[in-house]
Amino acid sequence: MPISANEVAQIAHLARLAVSAEDSETHARNLSEILDFVEQLGTVDTEGVDPLAHPLEMTQRLRTDEPSEPDERERFQAIAPATEDGYYLVPRVIE
């Protein structure tokens, strides 16, 4: 399935990735090749076959709804680029 540079821009937007105009052509060519390659899945008869999401088909283990981890905010904030009064500081991006 050929992917155009415009479609690359749309996919990149959905993935929140900045892709330069000059790289778009390369991405379009690579994505087209990869999608062509995976197209062969269409030749397999999967009528009535259940999808397999987990190789051991385990169900998700649940725990009781009780706190199990201590408060480690200070230790975690020690590695953050910038904090103030217990909050993480991030660039102002909303006017």
Q: Which residues contact 4 (CB under 8 A, 6 or more apart)?
A: 28
The CA radius of gyration of the chain, in Å to the nearest whole number, is 23
**Residues 4-33, interacting with another protein (CB under 8 A):** 8, 11-20, 23, 27, 30-31, 33
String of contacts with another protein for each residue 66-95, x by CB under 8 A: ------x--xx-xxxx------x-xx-xxx
Output the six-digit token pair for 21. 């105009």
Structure tokens at 29: 């060519």
> Binding pattern to another protein, positions 33-72, x when CB under 8 A?
xxx-xxxxxx-x-x--xxxxxxxx-x-xx-x--------x
Nearest to 18 by CA among 8, 28, 4, 3: 8
Residue type, 91: P
Residues of this chain that interact with another protein (CB under 8 A) are 3, 8, 11-20, 23, 27, 30-31, 33-35, 37-42, 44, 46, 49-56, 58, 60-61, 63, 72, 75-76, 78-81, 88, 90-91, 93-95
